[in-house]
Amino acid sequence: MKVSASPNAPKLGPMELAIIITVPVCLLSIAVMLTIWACQGRQCSYRKKKRPNAEEPLSECNLVNAGKTLKDLIYDVTASGSGSGLPLLVQRTIARTIVLQEIVGKGRFGEVWHGRWCGEDVAVKIFSSRDERSWFREAEIYQTVMLRHENILGFIAADNKDNGTWTQLWLVSEYHEQGSLYDYLNRNIVTVAGMIKLALSIASGLAHLHMEIVGTQGKPAIAHRDIKSKNILVKKCETCAIADLGLAVKHDSILNTIDIPQNPKVGTKRYMAPEMLDDTMNVNIFESFKRADIYSVGLVYWEIARRCSVGGIVEEYQLPYYDMVPSDPSIEEMRKVVCDQKFRPSIPNQWQSCEALRVMGRIMRECWYANGAARLTALRIKKTISQLCVKEDCKA
């Protein structure tokens, strides 16, 4: 049987077919364009609300600090749940919203900048990518559990930033506008009470660093290995904060191991202990590193005491051994003076007329013993200067 089309079915011409196909396509295109336009409008509106000031990208402030100051964040040991600093995401958020203001220093590692974050001052230590090991090590030490202390520089964040040409490695910390103790002593004469405050704060910071705290929220003993006046900062309240922990070593008392970093740099030659200069130091015993720190602290105390005014007499600022070695001495030059000739910085006679300077002079001598085991501990120094502080009413 043959089936044929109905004679009454309408026939569509080319024009009708074109209209049927074109109209839905046009309507669909218009709908898609309207959707895209609406989404873009929302994004622009969101960006305007989020970034009112392009020069101050501080919009994440509320996300990070919830009304807290940087000091609150730094010393809130519960922030990360471990007492080891801020969570990594918060660190990255802070680092990427800092506005650099001016360069304030240069060193072998790179540069130090003054920056602003959420209206607060911060210091940004910028390492080049070739110094990644130093950057990583310093960040690791600063984030040691329970390291936070008022006389140890407050660490805020570590991050890497790509500026388009090379990668920069950032360490963000508290900013202390007075600069290093070296800078401070070059500019200022100190009173007896001022000397005691500076010395006590250094001893307090070093005692905390050297101390092992046992427990689940404990802290390993840490030795600095590069104590000098340029690595100690002066705070607004005229007390100190120990900084630059890139060469520090930690002691694991359970395994009795020392995590000496794979870093070719050693401490500063001028401040090296005798046993380091003549290569007789036992690096397998952690106490050796703490004793070397004590020798260096004795030299820093000498720098401070020279700038103390007693009876109107004050010495000009000088580095230790300034009159015995050149400005950039070699290890051999230092070894000859310190180990062979057994010289130490001279203690002026006028110090005998002031009890505080007399005590400080005695502390220095007991820090400088050739036999490291005979030197004072940081805790003993702290206790001695604390007693001096009470006598002098220095309100340290």
Annotated catalytic residue 131? no
Which helix (H) or strand (E) element contains residue 240?
Answer: strand 240-242
Catalytic residue among 76, 159, 183, 226: 226
State how far Cα 30 lies from the chain centre.
Answer: 57
Q: How does DSSP assign 134-173, residue by residue?
A: HHHHHHHHHTSTT---TTB--EEEEEEEE-SSSEEEEEEE
> Was 125 annotated as part of a binding site?
yes
In this structure, the strands spanning 240-242 and 232-234 are: antiparallel
| CA distance linking residue 125 with residue 158, whole number of Å | 10
The interaxial angle of helices 192-210 and 378-392, nearest 10 deg, is 150
Helix (H/G/I), strand (E/B), else coil: 272: coil
Residue 209 forms beta bridges with which residues?
Answer: none
Burial 103-113 (b: 16+ CB within 10 A, else e): ebeeeebbbbb
221 near 212, Cβ under 8 Å? yes
Residues of the binding site for ATP: 125
Residues of the binding site: 125
Instruction: Tell me which residues are annotated as active site.
Output: 226
